[in-house]
Amino acid sequence: MSVAAEELLARLAEIRATDPDAVQRVLAKRRRRPLLRNSPERQGGGSLFLIAADHPARGVLKVGADPMAMADRGELLRRLLTALGRPGVDGILGTADIIDDLALLGALEDKVVFGSMNRGGLTGFRFELDDRFTAYTVDGIVTAGLDGGKMMVRVADEPEALRTLAACALAINELSIRKLPAMVEVFASEVDDGRVRNRADADSLIRAITIVSGLGTTSAYLWLKLPVVDDLDRVMRATTLPTLLLGGDPDDDPKATFASWQRAMAIPQVRGLVAGRTLLYPKDGDVARAVDAAAAIVAEKAKS
């Protein structure tokens, strides 16, 4: 753990133990901004670039070959502070523990903040598809002054997936009543040898998108968060909803990952990117450089 990471942990631990009301105070005073800012080149333009930090609440700590990379909270916060401080980063997506830490550190001013809602489908557990809402509620998002709610839907031929679909529909309705965006991360999934796997073929994802797009009583505030798959142009013709690209798991070829994001930005429905581990834990360790490269890709979208 770096010295900076140790200092962050000590500082936050002291505040949390001695002044728990500080979380509510700093969130209430947080300076907010519009979801999309118009690009200077085109009236009505705008893109969105968010850092994802809701992995640990689902038990996902692995990055590359390190199964516990995200377990060091001080180091994770240090990397998040670096990412949020880079030009072009609009905000963050996370669970309350991380959002509260960042608020106490003053890192959420003039940022877009989405609260992650259903984290109960723990990765690798037998009940993974039973993805219950164990994190933010809509009331919690409103009370904290956040800018929207994020949920995940894995469309699969399992009863647990149906319960998750129904719960997400209710959350979409509750957010829309408050005119808050609901960001829904969509996967086409299957259970293989007792484990949940996401299908990467275009046809399966298209079918999942059409199902999820019909959730709730209005789609006015509905956004999609989608993985970058082959034939994405055809996939995106399945919806008119504004869409953010899923950063995905870090792989052995970051150049190919960034190139796939750049190609996808040309699609009209794609409005930006939500990425986490790929940028927070790059292979070369340079968080700022990885975030800047992603921000440049999203910035080109804002100009188109």
CA–centroid distance for 171 within its chain: 16
- Please compute the mean of the pLDDT values over residues 94-98 and round it to a whole number: 98
For the segment 124-155, what is each residue's pLDDT rounded down to a tens digit?
999 999 999 999 999 999 999 999 999 999 99
Q: Is 42's pLDDT higher than 50?
A: no
| Cα distance between residue 190 and residue 18, in whole Å | 46
SS (H, E, C) the chain: CCHHHHHHHHHHHHHHHHCCCHHHHHHHHCCCCCCCCCECCECCCCCEEEEEECCHHHCCCCECCECCHHHCHHHHHHHHHHHHCCCCCCEEEECHHHHHHHHHCCCCCCCEEEEECCCCCCCCCCCCCCCCCCCCCHHHHHHCCCCEEEEEEEECCCHHHHHHHHHHHHHHHHHHHCCCCEEEEEEEEEEECCEEEEECCHHHHHHHHHHHHCCCCCCCCEEEEEECCCCHHHHHCCCCCCEEEECCCCCCCHHHHHHHHHHHCCCCCEEEEEECHHHHCCCCCCHHHHHHHHHHHHHHHHHC
Q: Is 39's pLDDT higher than 90?
A: no
Of the candidates 217, 225, 219, 218, the one whose C-alpha atom is nearest the C-alpha of residue 247 is 225
pLDDT of 45 reads: 58
Paired with 259 in beta bridges are: none
pLDDT of 254 reads: 85
pLDDT of 250 reads: 73
Structure tokens at 263: 């190609």
Of the candidates 16, 171, 32, 35, the one whose C-alpha atom is nearest the C-alpha of residue 100 is 16
- Please compute the mean of the pLDDT values over residues 72-84 and round it to a whole number: 97
| Cα distance between residue 227 and residue 274, in whole Å | 10
State the pLDDT confidence band at 1, using cuts at 50, 70 and 90.
Answer: low
pLDDT of 44 reads: 43
Contacts 24+ apart (CB under 8 A), 241-245: 241/213, 241/269, 242/269, 242/271, 243/267, 243/269, 243/270, 243/271, 244/48, 244/50, 244/183, 244/270, 244/271, 244/272, 244/273, 244/274, 245/270, 245/272, 245/273, 245/274, 245/275
Q: Is 41's pLDDT higher than 70?
A: no
State the pLDDT confidence band at 197, using cuts at 50, 70 and 90.
Answer: very high
State the pLDDT confidence band at 46, using cuts at 50, 70 and 90.
Answer: confident
pLDDT of 38 reads: 60
The percent of residues in the chain predicted with pLDDT above 90, rounded, is 88
Contact present, 92 and 113 (Cβ < 8 Å) = yes
Of the candidates 83, 54, 132, the one whose C-alpha atom is nearest the C-alpha of residue 282 is 83
| Cα distance between residue 238 and residue 208, in whole Å | 10
The percent of residues in the chain predicted with pLDDT above 70, rounded, is 95
Rg (CA), the chain: 18
Residue 19's contacts (CB-CB under 8 Å, 6 or more residues apart) are: none
Taking the domain 3-303, which CATH number applies? 3.20.20.70
